[in-house]
Structures are given as structure tokens and as C-alpha cells.
Structure 1
Amino acid sequence: MQALVTVQHPAHVHFFRHAIGELEDRGHEVHVAALDKDVALSLLDAYDIDHTVLGTRSGSLVQVALSQATIEARLVQLARRLDPDVITAIGGLTAAHVGAALGIRSVVFTDTEHARLSNRLTFPFADEVWTPDCYWHDEGADHHRYPGFHELAYLHPDRFTPDPAVLERRGVDPDERFVVLRLTGWDAVHDIGDSGLDGLPGLVRQLESRGASVYVTAEGELPDALADRELTVEPSEIHHLLAYADLFVGESPTMATESAVLGTPAVYVHSQPLGYTDELADYGLLWGFHGDDRNARGAERALELLDAADTTDWDAHREQLLAAKVDTTDVVVERLLGDVGATGTARTATARADD
């Protein structure tokens, strides 16, 4: 089999990398086409994944639309040359369009309900749309669900073991009490009009008043008042930092979920809730705050979690979660191979889709 994987965001590299390795180990050919988005290309290089660069997509809606046309044209050329059996992506706008145009089976993964515009432009063209079973919407006959999260494709314990030496190389003591504060760039199409944290210097002072160090990571430039708290971590190392943190606070639902599935309590502050962040709240691992007073409520909960850090068994919460979910890489591999029913994972995913 030949598969064509398209990558639009750094998180997509994490999501697909183990599936790419497994498919290649089984003798299949996998080709990767990527957008130059944030550190996506650096991550592909760090994991030694060969790739073709399609271009970049940013700016106003008009600029995004124009760049999208160029990207799709380049992917059409690549797909015609490779003639793959399947094309796949997270979100999948470009992959679904190119697959439909060239008669290539397309498999799209998503977990983002509020990406309404791109979802409407993608799903009618995709052969299969796969989401976690906590996804709120019904996307039609080609929509299937599996019991998991995107983040369990690379942070399931069968895939990832945190290494304290990674933190020590960055000057962080894994045994110290610390909080990871994450700020996003707000340049994705589905983020237009959304917002997250404000009053950041005051929030940091409150967290530090509980005896915790605060390490800030950001997609853009930090306010001057927080510059001395910035921690530069390689994109391939960030999950080790999250695994040893006592608390995550941030605007990124992906990183909040990564923290939660690693057993680190997460406070997610954003104007938009999501199905998977809501479900993680049921496991007592993530708290989402939305609406006009989200910053005050989020800060209050973050302080409560720090106060309770020494008396809460977060590992027990994580074990309960893992018992109910699957290794998402298994789902990805099976769907790209089209091998429904070959293992318990595929049967479980299909059964849930048909319920």
C-alpha cells in the first residue's frame, strides 16, 4: 500500500508519526506532505520523517483562501505522481478535496466541532470521517467514532515514557513544584474571533504565591512582564515537561489534553468548549472555563488544584481514563489499511459508530 499523509500543524506530526513508523515496518510506503506552520517542519526533521513542503497558509480569510488554492494544486501534482491508495489528514480540507478529485480514498480525522467552516468544506468530500466518541455532532453516514483522543496516538503509555533527564537539560528540576502556562497564537481559521487568558502577570503572581515555579511557553512573543519566565523547549521535548508538571494552565486545548492524559491536571481557558475537553472533565483531569468571567474562574480553580496537589492521586484518575480508551495509533493504522474488524480496536470503533 502507498499512503499520503498531509500535515497542517505541529500536533499532526505527533498524531501520525507512530502510524507512519508502523506502516513502514510492515512494508508499506508512506509519503508526507506538510505545510510550513509553526514548528511542524522542525518536528518532522527531529523525527527523521521525509516530507514535501506544500507552502504556508496564514493571514486574512482572503489570503488563506488564495494560499489554499495553491496548496491544493501542489498536492494534486504530488498525488498524481505518487498515485497513493489512500490520503489522510487531521481536519482534512486539502486531503479530502484532492482525494475526491483524483479518485483516491480519503480518511479524515478530527476532534474540533467549532471548526465549522473547514468541516463544512471537508466532510462532504471525505470517504471516512473519524472522531473520538465524545465528539458532539453527527456528521452523516461516513462519520465513525472510536473510544479515544487524538493525543493517545502518541501519549498512550505504550507509546511514551517521560524522561526526567529532558527537564534537567533545560534547567528544570523534575521534583520541584511547577506550573506550565501555555499561550497560543490565535492564527488558525477556527480561532478567528476567539480568545483565552488575560491578566497574565497577575495570574503568574497568584500561582507563584503557592510556592510553584511558572514556566511559560508561547507561540508568539511574550509580554515583557513574563519574559523571564519563558522556557525554551524543543517541540519534541514538551511532553516530558507536561508529564512532570504539577499543573497546566493555558489556552491550547491540545496541550491541555496532552497534560490530562499524562495525569497532570489541566485548566483550559478559552471562549470555545469542545467535546473532548468536556469528557476529560468527567475523569477529573481537565477543567474548562468559557464565557466572560473565564479568567477569574480559571485562576481560582488553578489555585485550588495547586493546594490539593499533595493529596490527590492523579495517577488513579489517569488509569481510569486509560482503561476506557484505546491506543489511537492502532485506529489510524487500521483505517489507512482499510482493515476494519481485524482487531478488537477496529471492531470497537465500528460498533460505536453504528450505535
Structure 2
Amino acid sequence: MSGDPQRVLFDINHPAQVHLFRPVIGDLESRGHETLVTSRDKEITTALLDAYEVPHECLSTEGGGLLATAAEMGVKGARLFRLARSFDPDVVVARPNPPAIYVANLLGARTVMLRDTVIPSRVLRACYRGLMLPFVDDLCAPAGFETSLTGGRNHTLGFQELAYLHPDRFEPDRDRLATRGVATDEPYFVLRFAAWEAYHDVGGAGWSTEGKRALIEELDQHGTVYVSSEGDLPEEFSEYELTVPPHLIHDLLYFADLYAGDSQTMATEAALLGTPVIRVNSKVGAHEMRNFEELAERGLLFSFRDEERALQQARDLVAGPAATDWQRRRRELIADKPDVAAYLRDLILDPDGVERRRGEAPITVASS
């Protein structure tokens, strides 16, 4: 691995990316490398960065609709170019997005992009492949993704959430939740409902309003219900709205008796923490990700297109005997997986030697 200090720019556009990149940022800085974090004001992204005391430069605010998003990308690209030109990065790390990719190429920086979202629209997939992938040097994605680059390298990287949820990096704390009024020794359930407004959600759907109502009414009979919503929460559910700060969400998920929702990321996080997961999502089946299939095969997650079947599964889980060793299943899965954060660190610093990391099982890396 190169011993020369490097300048690495992380472009963060979504709350999940805060969690994903934070341990890598800390690792790089502890080794004497310089980092710069740029952010987008989307949902709780900037609030999370502030809570974790990660210095960042906010470049834009999420727009509503295609035209507003296009205008935002233009503004963000101009601001990112000015900031990055001053910082002079060796590497730009992000989820694939035009401003980060194009600015990196203009400045001669290497690009490390991480993808984990299925794009169902053929038109959007064509734009993605034609307008962004040709300019990416290293692209990481879970197994089964269509990630062929025209001039770079493809890296198969499984559960990216293990970068921050691996037991070596995350230790749940009951006391942090107790100060927020959460009794971890009593049954409680966490629900997460997506807004379905992102470009990759086009044509997709999750729990209906009627389904949400039935789910909450059922779970409310067995314990406390906490609801987290990406969009505005209907007034009828306001009494269940989650008040725990976002940076404690993984503590909340770990001690929960059940997670249910239609969010992709939080469903994965809950399963990797050993919490039973019920996921309702129209992408189940035709556009399913391999990660969710593996979690289902290991008995950590139940996915449904039909919310009536999902509701029955919820009833069975909360009313039945709690004999299943969910934590054992979690440990068995993690034991089979590599250290994602260490892999990303090595890929950023030394892409040619990334397969030679000592003490790690090899990760499939295929050059296009």
C-alpha cells in the first residue's frame, strides 16, 4: 500500500452514505491522509454529519421533481468543482452521481463509486451506463449487479452496511436509548416507510395507508410502536412518530423485537443486527437484489409483495414463541463476510494491491 499521504474527497448525498463512509474517513485520517466531505441537504444527511461531528461543506438542497433535480445537479456541480479544485483530490469517493464523477475526471482524480440500488427503468439504466459508468475507475456493488465498466474495474462487495454495523465497529448501548425514554427490556417494534420519490423508485411501491394502519394496530397490542417515515407522516400515526435522534437508530434497531417497513437500507441494517425483518416492496421478485435473497435464505428477513401475507407474518412473529436464535444467525452470516471498511480503505489507497490484504478472504474483483 502506498505510504504517501493522499487527499480523498467524499461526496455524501444520502443519510445511508454518512454511516457507510464515516468509518473509512476516520481510518484514513488516523493514518495521516487528508479528507474533505461534501454533502447534500437531503432528509437527515447534514444532521447526521453534524451529530457525528464530521466537518462537511453542504453544496445543495434536494429538489422536488425531475427539472428541480437537474437544476440542483448543475448548481452542485459548479460548487463542487470550485471546492475540489482548491482541495486537489487524488481520489473522489461517492455513490454514482454526475457532479462527483465529472468533477473528478476534470481534475484528474481517480473515482471510487459504490452502488447498491437496482434501477428498474430501462431508460434510466441506459443513461446510467452511458453517461456515468464510462468515467468511473472503480465500481463496487453487491453480487449479481450489472456493473460492467468500459475502462475501469468492477468489485463485488456484498453487504456494504457491514462497513459500520460489523461487531468490530458497532456496539449497541441500552443506556443511550434509556436517556431517550426507550425501555429495551420491554417489547417494541420499529417501522420505516419510504417516500418512493427517488429516481430508482419510479414505478415502485411499499405499504399502503391501509396496510400501515393494520400493521400498527396489530403491533400496538404487543408492545411499543416507533414509526420512522421518509415523507410526511399522516396525522393518524403521529402518536407513534419516532423521537429518537437519527444517530441512535442502529441502537434502536438492535434491541427491537421486530422491524417492518418498505425501506431497502433499514431492512438490511436490521437484519444484519439480528432483528427479525418483514419487508414489503414491489421490487420483490423481478427486481430483487441478491443481498435480500441471501438474508431470506439465512432466515433473517421475510420479503413480500403482498402486505396481507406480510401482516400475517408479523402476527406469527410477535405472538409466537421467541425461541429463534436471531443473533446466532447474524454471527454466522458475518463470519462469512470480509471487512468492508478495510477493503474500501485499501481500494482507495492502493487499488492494484487490494486483493493482497493480509488475513482476509479474497473478494471477487473482475476487470472489464
Aligning the two structures, in what range does the TM-score lie when normalised by the shorter sequence? over 0.9
Paired AA for residue 322 in structure 2: D
* 1:316 aligned to which of 328, 341, 357: 328
Q: 1:283 aligns to what?
A: 298
Secondary structure, aligned partner of 2:247: coil
Does the aligned pair in 1 maintain the 2:187–2:223 contact within 8 Å? Answer: yes
Does the aligned pair in 1 maintain the 2:81–2:103 contact within 8 Å? Answer: yes
Q: Which digits, 9 at most, give the CA deviation of each residue in 1:131-174, with x for residues without a partner?
A: 12x33324246353345312101100001000011221221210
Cα distance change, pair 170–83 in 1 and its aligned pair in 2 (3 A): same
Q: 1:187 aligns to what?
A: 197
Q: 1:136 aligns to what?
A: 145
Q: 2:240 aligns to what?
A: 229
Paired AA for residue 288 in structure 1: S
| Counterparts of 2:162 and 2:317, CA distance in 1 | 24
Cα distance change, pair 138–23 in 1 and its aligned pair in 2 (3 A): closer
Secondary structure, aligned partner of 2:362: helix
| Counterparts of 2:311 and 2:65, CA distance in 1 | 32
More moved, 97-106 vs 6-15: 97-106
| Counterparts of 2:359 and 2:88, CA distance in 1 | 29
Does the aligned pair in 2 maintain the 1:87–1:107 contact within 8 Å? Answer: yes
| Counterparts of 2:282 and 2:37, CA distance in 1 | 33
More moved, 86-95 vs 67-76: 86-95
Does the aligned pair in 2 maintain the 1:334–1:346 contact within 8 Å? Answer: no
* 2:44 aligned to which of 39, 42, 56: 39
Cα distance change, pair 275–341 in 1 and its aligned pair in 2 (3 A): closer
More moved, 310-319 vs 138-147: 138-147
| Counterparts of 1:6 and 1:345, CA distance in 2 | 30
| Counterparts of 1:309 and 1:344, CA distance in 2 | 43
Q: State the Cα distance separating 1:194 from its structure 2 match.
A: 1.9
| Counterparts of 1:97 and 1:151, CA distance in 2 | 26
| Counterparts of 1:309 and 1:93, CA distance in 2 | 50
Where do 5+ consecutive residues of structure 1 fail to align?
none
| Counterparts of 1:206 and 1:179, CA distance in 2 | 11
- Number of aligned pairs? 349
Paired AA for residue 39 in structure 2: A
Q: 1:24 aligns to what?
A: 29
More moved, 274-283 vs 37-46: 274-283
Paired AA for residue 299 in structure 1: L
Secondary structure, aligned partner of 2:18: helix
Paired AA for residue 237 in structure 1: L
Secondary structure, aligned partner of 1:158: coil
Secondary structure, aligned partner of 1:249: strand
More moved, 254-263 vs 304-313: 304-313
Identical aligned pairs, as a percentage?
40
Note if 1:242 corresponds to 2:256: no
| Counterparts of 2:90 and 2:328, CA distance in 1 | 42
| Counterparts of 1:167 and 1:286, CA distance in 2 | 24
Paired AA for residue 277 in structure 1: F
| Counterparts of 1:344 and 1:246, CA distance in 2 | 38
Q: State the Cα distance separating 1:274 from its structure 2 match.
A: 2.4
Cα distance change, pair 102–145 in 1 and its aligned pair in 2 (3 A): same
Secondary structure, aligned partner of 1:154: helix
Paired AA for residue 261 in structure 1: L
Secondary structure, aligned partner of 1:215: strand
Where do 5+ consecutive residues of structure 2 fail to align?
1-5
Note if 1:178 corresponds to 2:208: no
Paired AA for residue 25 in structure 2: I
Q: Superposed, which structure 2 residues align to 1:193-232 within 5 Å?
A: 193-198=203-208, 199=210, 200-209=212-221, 211-232=222-243
Note if 1:274 corresponds to 2:274: no
Q: Which digits, 9 at most, give the CA deviation of each residue in 1:193-238, with x for residues without a partner?
A: 32210111122112234x2321111123222221111121111101
Compute the TM-score of the two structures, normalised by the length of structure 2.
0.89
Q: State the Cα distance separating 1:51 from its structure 2 match.
A: 0.9
Secondary structure, aligned partner of 2:206: coil
Paired AA for residue 48 in structure 2: L
Supply the RMSD in Å over aligned alpha carbons: 2.0
Cα distance change, pair 345–192 in 1 and its aligned pair in 2 (3 A): farther
Does the aligned pair in 2 maintain the 1:36–1:53 contact within 8 Å? Answer: yes
| Counterparts of 1:252 and 1:189, CA distance in 2 | 15
More moved, 29-38 vs 111-120: 111-120
Secondary structure, aligned partner of 1:124: helix
